[in-house]
Chains A and B, each alone.
Chain A
Amino acid sequence: MSLQVNCRKIVGGYGRGKALVTRQPINFLAMLDTKVGTITDQDHELFGQSVKNVILVFPNAIGSSVGAYAIYSLRVNGVAPTAIVCTNKADITTASGCAISSIPVVDMLEKTLSCMLSSQMNISVDADNGILAVI
């Protein structure tokens, strides 16, 4: 039996995989190498980790408006996350970048679950039905 919670669909689709979780926001333009999908900001808690084929769980994007193109670059380069979960509220950069990259996005999880999520957990995101499950 998996743990399920409701969430809000921002970009539809379904994704399943290992979670990569951070409590820190991300500037997609400045903090990522979009060719390989790794976080390059030494001060970020995900430094050195790859967003490729993971369920990226983070609060929201910050900074550059061009971050939307950075998300699309991840998709074109084959290193995009399978799905994105915003633990705060999905922002315009994330929503628009994922909308053209067909990366499912959800937000507004119940607070308790949002705190429980940690990296390496197996998660499924059913954005169309607004359901996130820990498998």
Chain B
Amino acid sequence: MELTPNDERSLRGEHGETIASAYRILVAIGTATEAKKLVPIKWAHLSGVNYNTIGNAGVKFLEEFAEDGTTRVAVKTTVNPMGFDRTKPNNLDENFVKQQMKIVKLYEGLGTSPSFTCTPYEIFDIPQRGTAVSFAESSAAIYSNSMLGLLTNKESSLSALASSVTGKAPYSELRVEEFRHPKVAIKPELKLLTELDFGLFGYFTGKVVKDSCVALDGIRKSKPDIMKTKSLSAAIGTSGTCGMFTSSEEEPTKEVIPFDKTEFNAVRDELSTAEDGNIIILGSPQIGINELSLVVDLAKDKKFSKHCMVFCSRAIFNQASQIGLAGKIERAGCEFMCDSCACLTPLINKDDVDSIITNSVKAAYYMKLFNRTGVALKDLKTIVRDYTN
């Protein structure tokens, strides 16, 4: 990868150790993705905010990264959810809270926006199509490439951080037009009806596709709503390396892989390990206004019979409060958890619950492998039908 003389100086440490380590990351990922050069980006979105995921090593890294006290982000930078809702009591130990708040301060010190969201595309103004960005948080990267026409690779926490402080990212893979065309298509041989169906379809897709872009048969024609495309994007990001989907109608491919009842059942059985659960968790990716409206419509005047946690960004919660939606959700017996996400939350563990109920394939995956609880996967309509009265 070719670097400008100024980039070379940065890499050698002439602009401080923080910028040098950012450049070391950019050079490594630029080499891995065969980039010819670095290009400017307009927006970085960082993951690696939740203490539950980055732990003490993450805190140590960020402390060292921010040590000079002068490094600031060079472009608009938003951040992923943290571990809990600061406005609510929680059962977390003192150390967790202390370390989490340290992380929050370190990111704020770098000049990032305290967005604590995994769905920045639902909150912030979207740049015009074709704009290069750098999004960690795989679900946001895939959604932004596929639905919004932004240009990002499926970045890591560290590569997006490196791009945020340098304002640059490798010109490679999904930032280059020729890589944004699929070689393989996945064709559903059954009707995808619910957001859960789209999630299971996405999880299968991520597993079998090795390229950075895939065609999904019928995806534009069926006009899936945002709940479905969020679910799809998050699931693709969970199981693989693919960073973008397009549609077979627009871009036919030679190779077509079927997704039939057998494949559907196999991924469902892998992730849905329980028939029922102790609590319901909604919001992975964090819930949006339209999903909240749907919950209100479906629940009507009924109340949830099990504890239902709704994970949400602060911005969406405030919006929902203004239009009276949040109150309706709370009156139905749900509890909002802002600034955090259902997936990788420290608030739920196997000591307290055997199994959780969710409509999110991504949450199911991490609950099973990381939080180690059982999972009952059901779509939102079924959840509201089965657990309200």
Interface residues of A (CB under 8 A from B): 8-11, 25, 27, 29-31, 34, 40-41, 43, 60-70, 72-73, 75-77, 88-100, 105, 107
Number of B residues contacting the other chain (C-beta, 8 Å)? 46
Q: Which residues of chain A are near B31, meaning CB under 8 Å?
A: 8-10, 95
Closest chain A residue to B173 by CB distance? A92
Shortest 9 CB-CB distances between A and B: which pairs? A73-B57, A99-B28, A68-B156, A65-B136, A76-B57, A96-B158, A95-B32, A30-B369, A93-B156
Whether B54 lies near A64 (C-beta < 8 A) is no
Shortest CB-to-CB span from B132 to chain A, Å, is 15
Contact with A along B28-42 (1 / 0, CB 8 A): 110111000000000
| Given A9-B31, A73-B57, A89-B32, CB of A97 within 8 Å of CB of B156 | yes
Whether B237 lies near A73 (C-beta < 8 A) is no
User: Is B311 positioned at the interface, with any CB of A under 8 Å from its CB?
Assistant: no
Contact with A along B225-249 (1 / 0, CB 8 A): 0000000000001111100000000
Summarize A's interface: helix, strand, loop or mixed: mixed
Contact with A along B15-57 (1 / 0, CB 8 A): 0000001001101110111000000000000011010011111
Whether A65 lies near B21 (C-beta < 8 A) is no
Whether A95 lies near B29 (C-beta < 8 A) is yes
Interface residues of B (CB under 8 A from A): 21, 24-25, 27-29, 31-33, 47-48, 50, 53-58, 60-61, 136-138, 141, 153-160, 162, 206, 210, 237-241, 270, 344, 365-366, 369-370
Q: Which residues of chain A are near B157, meaning CB under 8 Å?
A: 65-66, 68-69, 96
- In the complex the two chains form, what is the Cα distance from A50 to B57 in whole Å? 19
Q: Which residues of chain A are near B239, meaning CB under 8 Å?
A: 62-63
Shortest CB-to-CB span from A34 to chain B, Å, is 7
- In the complex the two chains form, what is the Cα distance from A68 to B57 in whole Å? 11
Shortest CB-to-CB span from B31 to chain A, Å, is 5
- In the complex the two chains form, what is the Cα distance from A92 to B240 in whole Å? 12
Shortest CB-to-CB span from B353 to chain A, Å, is 19
Shortest CB-to-CB span from B348 to chain A, Å, is 15
Whether A91 lies near B48 (C-beta < 8 A) is no
Pick the contact of A69: B24, B57, B137, B237 (CB < 8 A). B57
Whether B29 lies near A96 (C-beta < 8 A) is yes
Pick the contact of B138: A10, A65, A68, A105 (CB < 8 A). A65
Q: Which residues of chain A are near B54, meaning CB under 8 Å?
A: 66, 69, 73
